[in-house]
Structure 1
Amino acid sequence: MYFVDRSVAIIKPRAPFLAWLRTVSGEDMIDLTLDSLRADCTAMLLPEFDEPEQAVAYIDEMAEQLFRMELASWHEDESAWPADISLLAFWQWFDVEFHSMVLDSVDADILNTPTTEL
């Protein structure tokens, strides 16, 4: 195993995200629960930070992009997205867990594939 010079943020949807998802998906998502929605979430590598506030500030800078990415991963029609995707709305719609210790258990290079910009 190898220590990685990164930290991790886990982006976890909250109740407003689930409520929105049910409105745009109709009957398809009626049985979806918040627990199941939060069971497999987006994990992001971040730079290492000395203080938790630095990690929060880093997420703040990209909150709108993250918000768009999370919405698009469930529903691509932007006209159905919420009108408010501000920083405040991001923190109302998502919890973010930060983890400072990252280990790589694979003895191989990491393949970097860029995401599309939203």
Structure 2
Amino acid sequence: MYFVDRSVAVIKPKAPFLDWLNKVPDNDMVDLSLEALRSDCTVILLPEFNEPEEGVAYIDEIYEQLFKMELASWYEDDALWPTDLSLKAFWEWFDVEIHSTVIDSVDDDLTNSPALQ
């Protein structure tokens, strides 16, 4: 096992995200719950930080990309997305957990895939 020189953020949808999903036309996810949405969340690597506040500040810098990535993971058609993609809306729609320790338990090299836009 190896320490990785990164921190990590877990992006957890909140009720407004579920409300949006439920209002999308032709939504067939009638049994989707907030608990289910929050059980398997996006995790992103961040630069290594000493204080959680530094991680939050970094999230503030990249929030728009994260917001769009989360919306696109459900619906690629941005015409279906909410119109307010502000920083304030991001924090209303998502909880973010910042964790400072990342350990790689796999001996293989990491592979990169194309970045999400």
When normalised by structure 1's length, the TM-score is 0.95
Code of the aligned partner of 2:16: P
Which residue does 1:41 correspond to in 2? 41
Q: How far apart are residue 114 of structure 1 and its match? A: 2.4
Structure 2 residue matching 1:29: 3-state secondary structure: coil
Runs of 5+ in structure 1 lacking a partner?
Answer: none
User: TM-score normalised to the size of structure 2?
Assistant: 0.95
The Cα offsets for residues 59-105 of structure 1, whole Å up to 9 and x where unpaired, read as 00010110000000001111111010000000000000111111000
In 1, Cα distance between equivalents of 2:27 and 2:56: 35
Residue number in structure 1 paired with 2:78:
78
Greater helix content: 1
After alignment, is 17-26 or 50-59 more displaced? 17-26
How many angstroms apart in 2 are the aligned matches of 1:94 and 1:33?
A: 15
- Number of corresponding residues: 117
Letter in 1 for 2:83: A
Matches within 5 A, 1:2-21: 2-21=2-21
Measured after TM superposition, the shift of residue 52 of structure 1 is: 1.2
Q: Distance in 2 between matches of 1:23 and 1:14?
A: 15
Q: Is the 8 A contact 2:21 2:27 kept in 1?
A: no
* Cα distance in 2, alignment partners of residues 28 and 92 from structure 1: 25
- Unaligned residue ranges in structure 2 (runs of 5+): none
Deviation at 1:7, TM superposition (A): 0.7
